[in-house]
Amino acid sequence: MSNTTTFATVFNSAPESTAAITTSTSDVPNAALSYSKLNEQVRKFISQATDLFASNGINVAQTPGHPIAHMLENGLLNLITFLGTTLMRSVSAPLNPAMKQSEIEFYLEDSSSKVLIVNISHKENVSSHEGINAAKKLNIPVWFASWDSDFGIKLEQLDSSSISMSTSFTSVNFDTVVDTDVALLLHTSGTTGRPKAVPLSHRNILCSMKNIKNTYNLTSLDRTFIVMPLFHVHGLIGALMSTLYSGGSVIIPPKYSASTFWEDFIQHGANWYSAVPTIHQIQLQKPIPENLPKIRFIRSCSASLAPTILSRLEEAFKAPVLEAYAMTEASHQMTSNPIPPKKHVSGSVGIPQGVQVAILDDSGKRVHLGEVCIRGNNVTAGYLNNPSANAANFTAAIPNDDIDPSLNNQLWFRTGDQGYLDQDGYLFLTGRIKELINRGGEKISPLEIDAILLNIPGVSEAVSFAVDHEIYGQEIYAAVVLSPPNDGSNQPQLTQEDIKKYVSEKVAAFKVPKVVYITDSLPRTATGKIQRRMMADYFKNK
């Protein structure tokens, strides 16, 4: 198979150009790997992994498609493990290192993982490591990944005296990989029940990488600072892989740190980053460096960015802020605001980027305001072993479809988001369909209320949500985090009544939150998302 249709395409860049850089706190501190050295390390991983699989009775050359789970912090070991796994025709199944044993057991079983890879530092803490205990309970082998200063990546199996440091890596080739091979298996957070497994092929992800490159005009001169975790598509595909596909450089700290963000960003010459709104808001609260670097653009994704925050970001960091729209099922990006001089529209998630977008009602008919549906070569073929979810989330082609007939046989994926397209084709989201607040028959978009709350001087974070009500069915509540006193706003401490009064001046009375919680923090997922559906229970138990 051609190297242009699989992840091997990242090695088509200039061999001696810098591919990856780590920071002083990374798993391999202060390292810089060229594309040729990264290629070599990936081959070493494959050679060692093949030997270890063989010792467990598995011939990966004859039976490709084995899922490899890995719980690794952001860094070189993570990058090499991901590329190595996918280019040996296995399936990467990255896991959040913060998960507990019961969660890990579910993911290992649901993905049918054949091995779990953890960092060598966990070797001394085997009895207390959640992932190792989960794997041992399920009789899944555990491999330790580490870095040898002379050899590079090294794999060692738990309860084995031998270390696989095969020197036959030069014979490894990527020609057997095909673009329909599943490369990545991730789970959605889901609104109800257990998470759903989403298999993404080389073709899916390569299409997404190409779309992202084209959206932001990424080149070999670009250098991104990775702030999102690599166990989700935002960090893995939206920032890391799209940059490597473009021949640029990725700077990989072990995790996001507000206190060292600018120091590392400036030191390593980054010129863009992608993050969730939470991280943007945190950076706005930190001192802006006097030697603020030239930032080509800032990307915001994975949650709604309030227009007021976007404006503050652009003013503070002197760069265009481009909001995008993405989902795991679409190998990340679906739409985005374009790079200037094309217009970027505050409050919109932009225009379709290499995908088709339609607004449909429940019957599949085109409407102005309805469910956002997409299709394209970046979209998963369907959830893993979940026919009911596939039936509910994929819909047949629309009769008399007038959008690019080349994809007319492909099903439309229902995103679960409500929205509309304006006359210029810019997409506006009005909320998750299942999160719309139905107060006595009046449908309220929580995103509309969030934006108003975030525009109040003295409010730094906000979320509105539904609470069951005996008469109206649902009532609207909200929670806010106030700005710290030293943020320069010189505003008196806000009260619940102050906030409700402000909202009442902007919207009809039925949209004003009945209760406003003033809290120190809002509960979030590992990627910084607020799970709106969890808010009622969270604050009820406070």
Beta bridge partners of 350: 427
What per-residue confidence (pLDDT) applies to 400? 56
Q: In degrees rounded to 5, what are phi and psi of residue 154?
A: -135, 135
Q: Are strands 356-360 and 197-201 parallel, antiparallel or unpaired?
A: unpaired
Query: In which element (H, E) is residue 111 found?
Result: helix 101-111
291: Cα separation from own chain's centroid: 30
Residues 6+ apart with CB under 8 A from 158: 123, 126, 132, 141, 142, 143, 144
Read off the pTM.
0.87
Tokens representing 260 are: 């060292």
Q: What is the DSSP string of 41-72?
A: HHHHHHHHHHHHHHHTT--TTTS---EEEEE-
The answer to whether 64 and 183 have CB atoms below 8 angstroms apart is no
- DSSP assignment letter at 338: P
Phi-psi region for residue 89, left (φ > 0), alpha (ψ -120 to 50) or beta?
Answer: left
What pLDDT is stored for residue 191 in this prediction? 46
Number of Cβ within 10 Å of residue 501's Cβ equals 11
Q: What is the residue whose two structure tokens read 């040729």?
A: 36
pLDDT at 128: 87
Distances (CA, A) of 240 to 83, 213, 223, 358, 527: 12, 11, 10, 29, 15
Q: Is 220 exposed, middle or buried (0-12, 13-18, 19+ CB in 10 A)?
A: middle
Which residues partner with 164 through β-bridges? 155
Predicted local confidence at residue 448, as pLDDT: 87
Rounded CA gap, 50 and 52, in Å?
6
Block residue for tokens 């810019």: 426
Averages of pLDDT over each 10 residues, the chain, 542 residues:
70 91 94 96 95 90 93 97 96 93 93 94 78 96 94 90 58 82 88 79 96 98 97 97 97 96 97 94 92 96 89 97 97 98 95 96 91 96 94 80 65 94 96 84 84 92 90 90 71 88 89 94 81 85 72
Domains (ranges, CATH) in the chain?
12-177 (3.40.50.12780), 205-432 (3.40.50.12780), 436-540 (3.30.300.30)
- Give the pairing type, strands 297-300 and 272-275: parallel
Helix (H) or strand (E) run with residue 197 in it: strand 197-201
Q: What is the pLDDT of residues 179-191, one digit of tens each?
A: 999 999 999 865 4
Q: What is the pLDDT of residue 1?
A: 44
Query: pLDDT per residue over 482-541, tens digit each?
Result: 988 765 555 578 999 999 999 999 888 889 999 999 999 898 877 777 878 889 888 887
- Decide if 19 contacts 250 (C-beta within 8 A): yes
For residue 518, what are the contacts with CB-CB under 8 A and spacing of at least 6? 479, 480, 481, 482, 494, 495, 496, 499
What confidence score (pLDDT) does residue 3 get? Answer: 55
Peptide bond into 513 cis (omega under 30): no
Quick one: 500 exposed, middle or buried, by C-beta within 10 A (0-12, 13-18, 19+)?
middle
Q: For residues 346 and 343, give the distance between their C-alpha atoms in angstroms, rounded to a whole number.
A: 10
Beta bridge partners of 473: 439, 469
Secondary structure of the chain: what % helix, strand, coil (to 5)? 30, 25, 45
Separation of alpha carbons 65 and 67, rounded Å: 6
- Helix H, strand E, coil C: the string for 184-195 is EEEECCCCCCCC
